[in-house]
Structure 1
Amino acid sequence: MKDDEFNIENNKIEFLNSIFGIESVLLNGKRISKKFSFSGLTHEIKLHARDAILESKYKQFDKKEIKLELKENGVLLKEQFVKTDKKQRYVWFLIGIGLGITIYELLTSLLGY
């Protein structure tokens, strides 16, 4: 799912975030970065002779949005906000409950309760 895009000169930078927290960055349709994120990451972008970064910042229990900052040499070029998908929050909630139950069951069986 494409969440947002930036256009710098003749380059299109696309930010994608999957339901499982996998962030991808595409430069002119070609994937240049793919990472797992729980609260945000930094993606490096090479624009010919220019070096830029795309930072994503996400606070789990705040405004339910991802803040994207495109920077070059530490200078902010553009800032955009992307609403998070409700499905993503539900998936992580269910994963948390599942892990909690699993850990509880393992500990009670190991400790003999």
Structure 2
Amino acid sequence: MKHANYRIENKNVEVYNSFFGVESILVNCKKVSEGFSWFGKDHHFKIGDNNYRLKPYLSFLYIGGVGVSIYKNGLLQKEENIVSVSDKRKIFLRTALSIALCLAIGGFLGLELGRVVYRVFEMAVN
């Protein structure tokens, strides 16, 4: 799922994260960095003579719960995320669906565990 899209030095820089926690950074559709992370991983790459570091992080201030810090040659940059409105809707819907699914599965497992504990307790008392 695409979380961010930036225009840096006339290059298209995209930040993706899979459901399984694999983050990918693409520059003009070429993968320049990839790694496993659920809570943000530093991604290092070059554009021209400049060294960049992208650091995704969890934040409820952004659609999808992911923000990105961008460093150029060690200095924090202010770049605008240009993810389209339709992409933001997709990110929001996927995030909401994931949360709802986790809550449903957690509720179901909690109920089943409660039933098992109740049966064990009931057998112990009798």
TM-score band, normalised by the shorter chain?
A: 0.5 to 0.7
Q: 1:91 to 1:56 in 2, by over 3 A?
A: farther
Structure 1 residue runs of 4 or more that deviate by more than 4 Å after TM superposition: 79-84, 87-95
Percent identity over paired residues: 29
Q: 1:19 to 1:76 in 2, by over 3 A?
A: same
Q: How far apart are residue 79 of structure 1 and its match?
A: 5.1
Paired position in structure 2 for 1:86? 96
Q: TM-score, normalised to structure 1's length?
A: 0.66
Q: Which runs of 5+ in 1 are unaligned?
A: 99-113
Q: TM-score, normalised to structure 2's length?
A: 0.60
Q: Which runs of 5+ in 2 are unaligned?
A: 82-87, 110-126
Q: Structure 2: which amino acid aligns with 1:25?
A: I
Aligned pairs for 1:40-51 within 5 A = 40-51=40-51
Name the structure, 1 or 2, with higher relative contact order (CA <8 Å, separation 6+). Answer: 2
Greater share of helix residues, 1 or 2? 2
Give the conservation status (yes or no) of the 8 Å contact 1:69–1:77: yes
Q: 1:8 to 1:66 in 2, by over 3 A?
A: same
Aligned length: 96
User: Aligned-residue CA RMSD in angstroms?
Assistant: 2.9
Distance 1:26 1:75 in 2: 21
Greater share of strand residues, 1 or 2? 1
